[in-house]
Structure 1
């Protein structure tokens, strides 16, 4: 049964499938105060409108950590600061420990006016840690109840999503873009009416335009979008947050242009997302590429060695930006704080691509996040692991030198002037879900991960890889961690390749996995994972484990060829006069023509999606042979960046105009490590 609520001052709650329940813990070792306050507050809650289902309970200080870890419905704490300065200090320390466990909860302090400072206000340390203060002699429990409820209501509000819904339900006539006019152009069409019925009414009537001023402007927000962004900044621990409706690819480009627009030097993982490589070309940036580590047994590329990052920072003091991907597609994440601190000591800004880790801040075991470790900019694909629509992303900022005006201009250069409003609403709602129930949802995910790993290993054929399995030897001392929501399964024992298992799971059991290598498949355990889906996946793997085959030959990973060097800036190569040379051409003949030439394009085998060539890079014999091998045989690899002429693969290279003089060459990151 749904509970319909009409309380606009409390966030315009949507209908719920079940009544809400919010627990508020009063943390005190004073049993008399605790008992009397809890009784009075629960009596007050029973007498007032209580749409969030606030229920107050007493928790001893010694039991607080257990409560924080196990109580999913906990939404707020009231901490007793006692009657003297030492007890107040202990309350502040308790609030800090609470924040380390559940940063999203509202926290209130019970204190006495004797703790006010000389100016009659609360000390800054108190105001920083607590949402509101209550006097221990307080008797107005009505006021206290309303304050606690108001703070929870603010956190649970979705200002943009609510405004969008209200506008749609007001049923205004549309004489503006988009042309389908709320779906009216399709609804009664004999040709495309089926598409309208398939997609549903609200897909179309929420597709509006900047003409609807009440919905604010994504490019210049002042009202409900700005409110939603402010709530997101608070939720994710940022100073400022910006919404994007064209993905983290755009987010990365905006940040790189903000720091290095017009040129400069960037230190970046060679295995970074292709959007970073694109930004390097678009902004005429000079890259210093860092070599990713390879796990040879599974063909999985991991983080860069910390020593290599530090060495690059030492060797390139003129670098303006360090870009790191954490976590990787396979769930490997850096120990970021020492790396970020090392960069900041040298005056280098840090961008962390957290596209796959937007959920990290909402569970104790997944922290610290990049923002907590001091990153200046963090980009997140809110759609990858959370509940936002595809392409919905955020940029989080805490750069002390942040130029907001210039940032908005850079953002406007990439963002559409016709954003998808339902996508913005999904960002608002995804944020709400995480601050209100993210901890509990992720705890449930962890339980499913444990079950999945146990059942996979129990097959005796498949094996769920652990952190020790996935971390290459070169990273053994780097304190690399694993995001448990990415479960990589070794399928070697089945006699099938990762791709073959992927096809069998899809064709025979209706299951689609996230990615494969030649001997692994990876599944994501997200907020949308259910026990029924888990049951079906385990059943499928057990069935497949009963039908192993003897592998006719052992596959081995093809390690990416060594990065050669850059002959010029990537932008110079990409925009230069070029010619196309055949890649195959009887093998040896193609190699003779290509070796020593400069690539004009980014050439990316997929998977794993790591460039073999970037614009401006010199082509080696090893690279040519590697690409030829990928294109041969029945299981040819998909390669992005090649040009096909009459089905013949071609590489675009710079026209030869004489060897580049040394002064025209750019710096290159060596493949050295600190000794």
Structure 2
């Protein structure tokens, strides 16, 4: 199947434009054209912008420097900048009359322009070859191509892994079915560092390095690193690169648990920021902007600020003013963009965290793009980046036997995002809007809008919503979230992303199709017709605000401690816990926010909250509590352990 790569030529010189389109079109017929280059024209800047908005197959734009010269001598440069701001993945070339014009374009739009031609030349074959080479470079998958090449070479394996390209499984009466299930190519491509031609993830100098450079260009980063053990590990790598034991960092309490684990591993001194809470729907949103800015001012010695944007529910910070305030104090900004890796490739989702000035961004490429699970990227724009220190920390966490299929999937996911991400995401946005309307038309279920999701304290913070994440209010259906999730799964073969006590979340991605939208709508319509009487939901108890730390989280975590029961003999919150220092991260899931972190002082509000959850919310998992004979136990520091911790003096 040959792709389509449209090239848009923009000029208000009708005769010149017609001649160039004819010449380039003839070259496309005569020469080898594996990328399906076709050429179309546009007579003015506005028409060109409308064309690239409507046509996701446009890959290259050629702009005549003389465009609209009578109105503005810089019209061509202005158009180049506008195209780059709208769809940065598009390649841009400018037709010049002389070298003096090139200097002017370079001054105004050098970041946007990929190359130049001279407008009075008629080297159509040469131009075509250059444009075809541009598409080849953008669409290259150096690692994936080399992996395929190696598999086709059919080398005998005298190295790891032990299944030897699947030969240990093939034909087995006991496990041969696994070989058939996963497929020969996947097993043949499961290789190891014993194959030098496939490069090394821990010290890339070949095809992995090339693939990472292409990813950095695509996502707008100075450097990009592939990670095969998820954004969880990526966050920890950055923490250990930027933070030494005792260094202070500011973090959203609602950050992913990997961030809290990173606090423990790095030995950092955290300042926890309470997130906003929508109590009606049990949704935790961004930290109020005022809270973040106050924390920046109150902690000028902080080294790092980390925020999550967008959140699991699609809520995005207005990052630029926050990043600017942090940088003014010399604070590095990390943004966990695990759920937002697609944002660079459609203007509806931008600006990205990198475009807003973030120093480090982690993305779960597998969550919303086409990479395999666990495949993630780390993007770096920090002008003071210490690459050697980063590499040492990266290698500390990365496996010496990475899964090469994950690396290949990152290469392929980047290619797809660059070459057809705009077109596919445009379709996804239309499907999201269509699904929103269909769900609302049931009269029972309702997709929540931004104003529904925001709590009062963040309504003026410039927060926006990723429209591909739909949170559905199920309150009028008469079903609990667990009942509805199970019904959709068992009766209609539909698996949703997550639930709260009265909502369910639907995630639309580049893989969402109209057929899936139709089936989901049909299922929800059928459920709506079987409407039960609305029920009164038992809301989650309000999560207590953060108390205080008695010592560094790392110090508390690595002590032995002792275990005390959460409840006393009468089934009430155990008063013996009040005033003690927790050793573990205690996280009720959902919502997944730590109620206690290592080093935190336990107060009565916390024990009461945990006790009430245990009694009233039977489906909630209590991560971080030990179990002993069916009884929940909390690991706390012994008094003598706390007394000898050197870091406790920081908190006294």
Which bracket does the TM-score occupy, shorter chain normalised? over 0.9
Quick check: 1:243–1:392 contact (8 Å CA) kept in 2? Answer: yes
Deviations 1:223-264 (A, max 9, x none): 100000000000000011000000001110111111103330
Cα distance in 2 for partners of 1:179, 1:662 equals 48
Correspondence list, 1:597-612, <5 A: 597-612=580-595
Alignment partner of 1:494 out of 460, 477, 486: 477
Per the TM alignment, residue 636 of structure 1 is displaced from its structure 2 partner at its CA by: 3.8
Alignment partner of 1:401 out of 384, 394, 407: 384
Structure 1, unpaired ranges of 5+: 1-15, 669-675
TM-score, normalised to structure 2's length?
Answer: 0.97
Cα distance in 2 for partners of 1:317, 1:398 equals 22
Cα distance in 1 for partners of 2:222, 2:176 equals 46
Please state if 1:567 is matched with 2:550: yes
Correspondence list, 1:292-441, <5 A: 292-441=275-424
Find the counterpart in structure 2 of residue 586 from structure 1: 569
Alignment partner of 2:260 out of 270, 273, 277: 277
Cα distance in 2 for partners of 1:603, 1:484 equals 32
Per the TM alignment, residue 551 of structure 1 is displaced from its structure 2 partner at its CA by: 4.3
Quick check: 2:333–2:358 contact (8 Å CA) kept in 1? Answer: yes
Cα distance in 2 for partners of 1:249, 1:117 equals 46
Per the TM alignment, residue 466 of structure 1 is displaced from its structure 2 partner at its CA by: 0.5
Per the TM alignment, residue 645 of structure 1 is displaced from its structure 2 partner at its CA by: 1.3
Cα distance in 2 for partners of 1:612, 1:290 equals 13
Please state if 1:248 is matched with 2:224: no
Find the counterpart in structure 2 of residue 181 from structure 1: 164
Find the counterpart in structure 2 of residue 91 from structure 1: 76
Per the TM alignment, residue 116 of structure 1 is displaced from its structure 2 partner at its CA by: 5.4
SS in 2 for 1:184: coil
Per the TM alignment, residue 588 of structure 1 is displaced from its structure 2 partner at its CA by: 5.9
Alignment partner of 1:664 out of 635, 648, 652: 648
Find the counterpart in structure 2 of residue 637 from structure 1: 620
SS in 2 for 1:109: strand
Find the counterpart in structure 2 of residue 518 from structure 1: 501
Per the TM alignment, residue 629 of structure 1 is displaced from its structure 2 partner at its CA by: 1.7
Quick check: 1:298–1:557 contact (8 Å CA) kept in 2? Answer: no
Per the TM alignment, residue 282 of structure 1 is displaced from its structure 2 partner at its CA by: 0.8
Find the counterpart in structure 2 of residue 3 from structure 1: none
SS in 1 for 2:48: helix
Alignment partner of 2:537 out of 535, 554, 561: 554
Quick check: 2:428–2:509 contact (8 Å CA) kept in 1? Answer: yes
Find the counterpart in structure 1 of residue 462 from structure 2: 479
Deviations 1:291-341 (A, max 9, x none): 001001100000000110011111111000000000000000000000000
Residues 221 and 586 of structure 1: is their aligned pair in 2 closer, same or farther, counting only changes over 3 Å? same
Per mean C-alpha deviation after superposition, the further-off stretch among 549-558 and 376-385 is 549-558
Find the counterpart in structure 2 of residue 540 from structure 1: 523
Cα distance in 1 for partners of 2:615, 2:106 equals 70
Per the TM alignment, residue 366 of structure 1 is displaced from its structure 2 partner at its CA by: 0.5
Find the counterpart in structure 2 of residue 108 from structure 1: 93
Per the TM alignment, residue 412 of structure 1 is displaced from its structure 2 partner at its CA by: 0.5
Cα distance in 2 for partners of 1:345, 1:105 equals 33
Find the counterpart in structure 2 of residue 531 from structure 1: 514
Deviations 1:371-416 (A, max 9, x none): 0001000000000000000000000001000111111111101100
Cα distance in 1 for partners of 2:156, 2:396 equals 32
SS in 1 for 2:640: coil
Find the counterpart in structure 1 of residue 50 from structure 2: 66
Quick check: 1:320–1:349 contact (8 Å CA) kept in 2? Answer: yes
SS in 2 for 1:632: helix
Please state if 1:202 is matched with 2:185: yes
SS in 2 for 1:186: coil
Cα distance in 2 for partners of 1:112, 1:36 equals 16
Alignment partner of 1:53 out of 7, 31, 36: 36
Cα distance in 2 for partners of 1:156, 1:345 equals 39
Per mean C-alpha deviation after superposition, the further-off stretch among 381-390 and 58-67 is 58-67
Per mean C-alpha deviation after superposition, the further-off stretch among 633-642 and 603-612 is 633-642
Per the TM alignment, residue 443 of structure 1 is displaced from its structure 2 partner at its CA by: 0.4
Structure 2, unpaired ranges of 5+: none
Per the TM alignment, residue 465 of structure 1 is displaced from its structure 2 partner at its CA by: 0.4
Residues 667 and 454 of structure 1: is their aligned pair in 2 closer, same or farther, counting only changes over 3 Å? farther
Per the TM alignment, residue 82 of structure 1 is displaced from its structure 2 partner at its CA by: 1.1
SS in 2 for 1:455: helix
Quick check: 2:501–2:537 contact (8 Å CA) kept in 1? Answer: no
Please state if 1:615 is matched with 2:598: yes
SS in 2 for 1:657: helix
Cα distance in 2 for partners of 1:496, 1:381 equals 32
Per mean C-alpha deviation after superposition, the further-off stretch among 86-95 and 444-453 is 86-95
Per the TM alignment, residue 38 of structure 1 is displaced from its structure 2 partner at its CA by: 0.6
Quick check: 1:587–1:628 contact (8 Å CA) kept in 2? Answer: no
Please state if 1:258 is matched with 2:241: yes
Cα distance in 2 for partners of 1:337, 1:139 equals 45
SS in 2 for 1:358: coil
Per the TM alignment, residue 29 of structure 1 is displaced from its structure 2 partner at its CA by: 1.2
Please state if 1:77 is matched with 2:61: yes
Per the TM alignment, residue 126 of structure 1 is displaced from its structure 2 partner at its CA by: 4.9
Deviations 1:49-90 (A, max 9, x none): 111110001012221121111101111100111187985622
Cα distance in 1 for partners of 2:648, 2:193 equals 47
Cα distance in 1 for partners of 2:347, 2:570 equals 54
Please state if 1:268 is matched with 2:258: no
Per the TM alignment, residue 497 of structure 1 is displaced from its structure 2 partner at its CA by: 1.7
Per the TM alignment, residue 626 of structure 1 is displaced from its structure 2 partner at its CA by: 1.2
Please state if 1:463 is matched with 2:468: no
Alignment partner of 1:649 out of 628, 632, 650: 632
Cα distance in 2 for partners of 1:555, 1:592 equals 26
Residues 609 and 129 of structure 1: is their aligned pair in 2 closer, same or farther, counting only changes over 3 Å? same
Quick check: 1:88–1:111 contact (8 Å CA) kept in 2? Answer: no
